[in-house]
Chain A
Amino acid sequence: MNSLLWKELSTKPSVNNHGAKISSNQGAVNLIDGQLSVKELKTWEKLVKKGLNNALVGLSDLLGHELKLNSLNVEQIPIRKLTDLINSSDAHSIGTRLTIEGDISGQIMLIHSPEIAFRFIDLLLDLPIGTTNKIGNLERCALEDIGNITGSYFLNTLADNAGLIIMPSPPEVVIDRLSAIMNTPIETIRKQQTHTVLVKSTFSADSQKMDGTFIVLPTFDFVRAVTQEKVTLSERSV
């Protein structure tokens, strides 16, 4: 992951009491394109943190190593700016994408450097660390399982908060430059809005050198749907 890229993506955020950074240039006034208010962003950030912690519970259980959330950034930024910055990156990465389709839509990506992805695969397949050095069918399947557990546990928290069912696509593993991995999700969001809420978090394990980046690109409708008060199931189609 290109750390400079992510540094550039941060637009002088303010830090709230959850340690998350929320972009300071989005107020309740002059909102365009259905953007989120500061209040909505804070509600979303709290839910995201809860969801990420749940995702790490699932991933820790899968791998047999305790993973902890290191950082969380929630920012509302123009998609054009995100695209420009992503396109400037040549970092080679391994990403697992899950797409949420339907009335509320969004994109989830779990991104690792190849070295770290290999380490995750070794853990899942009970192999000595350092065994995996390429991605074949079995390794791709292992990454899909890791992405499935992480993404599903994250979405479970969001869905339960609103009494919804949120169904992701089967996971898709992409091995490419970061810009290529991110391009499809960004273009999908761009069709619906000019700004997006970028959720970027990092996690790691104490006992193993492992980390990863979890990115969520929801539509505004998605954020509003999952942060609303819980409704009875009979009021929604499931």
Chain B
Amino acid sequence: MAKILIVDDSALVRMKCSQVLSSNGYSVIEAENGEEALEKYKEHKPDGVLMDIVMPRMHGITALHEIRKIDPVARVAMLTAMGQKAMVTSALKEGARDFVVKPFREGRVIDTIQRLLGKTKID
């Protein structure tokens, strides 16, 4: 069972994502901010990460950067309402594999995770 780390300061978003992923056969780990995401990543070594950007303590782009330092092939997709073109460019430069704009649809989240994990096999 593939492990997915959901990083978002919104409990509602984490709950919705978790429900979607769990009902599609994924194991889910949650973190409330970038700092917690780093700890959870080191501890659980998830197969994929869904990462919010605007969060307290450490925002998502910094967390992405730090996770990629720990694991250069980390599979991270951004899940955010911050769909600014320059933000998308910045996230992709930092190594994000995909960008899901909130409010998200169930199918989009599943497609994103499947693509992330598909890249695992190719890599």
Number of A-B contacts (CB under 8 A): 72
Closest to B12 in A: A141
Contact B11 A148 (CB under 8 A): no
Question: In residues 70-96 of chain B, which contact A (Cβ within 8 Å)?
Answer: 80-87, 89-90
Contact B82 A163 (CB under 8 A): no
Closest to B83 in A: A156
Interface-central residue, B12, B53, B55, by most chain A CB under 10 Å: B12
Closest to A98 in B: B54
Decide yes or no whether B97 CB sits under 8 A from chain A. Answer: no
Contact B103 A159 (CB under 8 A): no
Decide yes or no whether B59 CB sits under 8 A from chain A. Answer: yes
Range for the number of chain B residues in contact with chain A: 20 to 34
Contact A167 B82 (CB under 8 A): yes
Query: Assuming A165-B87, A167-B54, is B11 touching A137 (CB within 8 A)?
Result: yes
Q: How far is the CA of A236 from the CA of B86 in the complex (A)?
A: 10
Q: How far is the CA of A165 from the CA of B54 in the complex (A)?
A: 12
Decide yes or no whether B10 CB sits under 8 A from chain A. Answer: yes
Contact B10 A145 (CB under 8 A): yes
Closest to B59 in A: A167
Contact A144 B10 (CB under 8 A): yes
Decide yes or no whether B29 CB sits under 8 A from chain A. Answer: no
Q: How far is the CA of A14 from the CA of B67 in the complex (A)?
A: 53
Query: Assuming A149-B81, A167-B59, is B86 touching A61 (CB within 8 A)?
Result: no
Q: How far is the CA of A61 from the CA of B108 in the complex (A)?
A: 14
Residues of A within 8 A of B38 (CB): none
Residues of A within 8 A of B11 (CB): 137-138, 141
Decide yes or no whether A48 CB sits under 8 A from chain B. Answer: no
Contact A165 B10 (CB under 8 A): no
Decide yes or no whether A168 CB sits under 8 A from chain B. Answer: yes
Contact B12 A152 (CB under 8 A): no
Decide yes or no whether A169 CB sits under 8 A from chain B. Answer: yes
Closest to A62 in B: B103
Decide yes or no whether A164 CB sits under 8 A from chain B. Answer: yes
What is the 8 Å Cβ interface bit string for chain A, positions 139-164, against chain B (1 contact, 0 not)?
A: 00110110011001101100110011
**B interface, CB within 8 angstroms of A:** 9-13, 53-56, 59, 80-87, 89-90, 102-103
Can you give 30 contacting A-B residue pairs, CB < 8 Å? A58-B81, A61-B103, A62-B102, A137-B11, A138-B12, A141-B12, A145-B10, A145-B13, A148-B102, A149-B81, A152-B80, A152-B102, A153-B81, A155-B82, A155-B84, A156-B82, A159-B86, A159-B87, A160-B84, A163-B86, A164-B84, A165-B86, A165-B90, A167-B53, A168-B54, A169-B54, A170-B9, A170-B54, A233-B86, A236-B86
